[in-house]
Chains A and B, each alone.
Chain A
Amino acid sequence: MKQMIKTKEEERLYSLTRIERELWMQPGVVLAGMDEVGRGSLAGPVVAACVVLPPAPLVRFVNDSKKLTAKRRSEVYESITKQAEGFALGWVKAEAVDNRGILKATREAFCLACTRIKLPVTDLLIDALRDLPVPMRQHSFIHGDAQSYLIGAASIIAKVLRDKYMEEQHELYPQYGFNKNKGYGTAEHIAALKNYGPCPLHRQSFIKGILGA
């Protein structure tokens, strides 16, 4: 039975790497996957991750970070960072999100992540965004995090590290329950926001409507 589950997982990973295998096959290609988290959050940074993983062995249970439980996610994160040839992050703070708008801030996070990686990356797999001002060839996919192994892996790295950061910020601003909601607009978070007002981590442009100011 265990063997069967293992085989199934390998088959899933094989079909999840369809796009990757085509690019891995080409000469001179160093392929990275990228994804972002925290785009819709009311507080905290938007974080993008860029990761390069080898074609084998594939890290088991890699998937869209939204499809994994927190526990599974941090286990997979450990294996990804162990297996990765390299990875890098791009952080853009709430203040910059307010100043430049969320789309520009997200693009900036992507650019930071893929230029910080210390590998000669030639090709990027990206979820949704296109035409970033970076020298790599870009391949973007709608719902890429559910279709691509590398984008899924990047989404897990970004999610786990942003969550960790928000949990740390909870120590500083315990009113809002950042340890649980990670800055997203849960009922509890919105109630606290109305009660105590915003903290420096909040995106003013996102909470204007809620505070009715």
Chain B
Amino acid sequence: MKRKEKGATGELLALIHLRRIGYELLYKNARFGRVEVDLIMLDKGSVVFVEVKARKCNTFGLPREAVDSKKQKRLVRAALSYMQELGSEVNIRFDVVEVDLNIGAANHIKNAFTADSKV
């Protein structure tokens, strides 16, 4: 499976999972400069920036470990430009969804990291 295909399948599974628990999709693969945000969703008035990590095996560590501080900083920066575009204060949260492509299961980590000291 090509890298892009793996990502697309992972995002699809994550999207289905998040919708099932009542989240609403705002943007998919939204770009902020060089940063791409997999899913931006709305959860009871909070805007959730979702990073999807799909894996076929755990040989190279858990998916969530792949969201390192560099990636976290980028997402925070993207969130800031999103807020600027929006021109208003909103509650923003960062979630990570790990997807196991072998069994089609999604593991949702709410508030995977916070924006403090990342800017």
A interface residues with partner B (beta carbon < 8 Å): 7, 10-11, 14, 21, 24-25, 27-28, 54-57
Is B103 close to A, CB under 8 A?
A: yes
In Å, the complex CA distance between A28 and B19 comes to 8
Given the known interface contacts A27-B25, A57-B103, the answer about A10 and B1 at a Cβ–Cβ threshold of 8 Å is yes
Indicate the member of B9, B13, B24, B101 with the most A CB atoms within 10 Å: B9
9 pairs of A and B residues whose beta carbons are closest in the complex: A56-B104, A10-B1, A14-B5, A54-B104, A57-B104, A55-B12, A56-B9, A56-B101, A56-B13
Given contacts A14-B5, A14-B9, A28-B19, 6 further A-B contacts (CB under 8 A): A7-B1, A10-B1, A10-B5, A11-B2, A25-B12, A57-B102
> For the complex, what is the distance from the CA of A21 to the CA of B2, rounded to whole Å?
16
B7 to chain A, nearest CB (A): 12
Bitwise, B61-94 to A at CB < 8 A (1) or not (0) is 0000000000000000000000000000000000
B96 on interface, CB distance cutoff 8 Å: no
Q: What residues on B are CB-neighbors of A24 within 8 Å?
A: 12, 16
Q: How far is the CA of A34 from the CA of B9 in the complex (A)?
A: 23
Most chain A CB atoms below 10 A, which of B25, B99, B104: B104
B101 touches A27 (CB 8 A): no
> What total of chain B residues lie within 8 Å of the partner, measured CB to CB?
17
Q: Which residue of A lies closest to B2 (CB)?
A: A11
Q: How far is A55 from B103 in the complex, measured between Cα atoms in Å? A: 10
Residues of B whose CB lies within 8 Å of any CB of A are 1-2, 5, 8-9, 12-13, 15-16, 19, 24-25, 99, 101-104
What is the minimal beta-carbon distance from B27 to any residue of chain A, in angstroms?
A: 13
Residues of A within 8 A of B9 (CB): 14, 55-56
User: Is there an interface contact between B5 and A11, defined as CB atoms closer than 8 Å?
Assistant: yes
Closest to A17 in B: B9
Contacts of A7 in B (CB 8 A): 1
The residue in chain B whose Cβ has the minimal distance to the Cβ of A6 is B1
Minimum Cβ distance to chain B for residue A111 (Å): 28
Residue of B nearest to A8 (CB): B1
Interchain Cβ contacts under 8 Å between A and B, 23 examples: A10-B1, A11-B1, A11-B2, A14-B2, A21-B8, A21-B12, A24-B16, A25-B12, A25-B15, A27-B19, A27-B25, A28-B19, A55-B9, A55-B12, A55-B13, A55-B16, A55-B104, A56-B9, A56-B101, A56-B104, A57-B101, A57-B102, A57-B104
Question: Which B residues lie within 8 Å of A11 (CB)?
Answer: 1-2, 5
Give complex CA distance A45, B12 in Å: 38
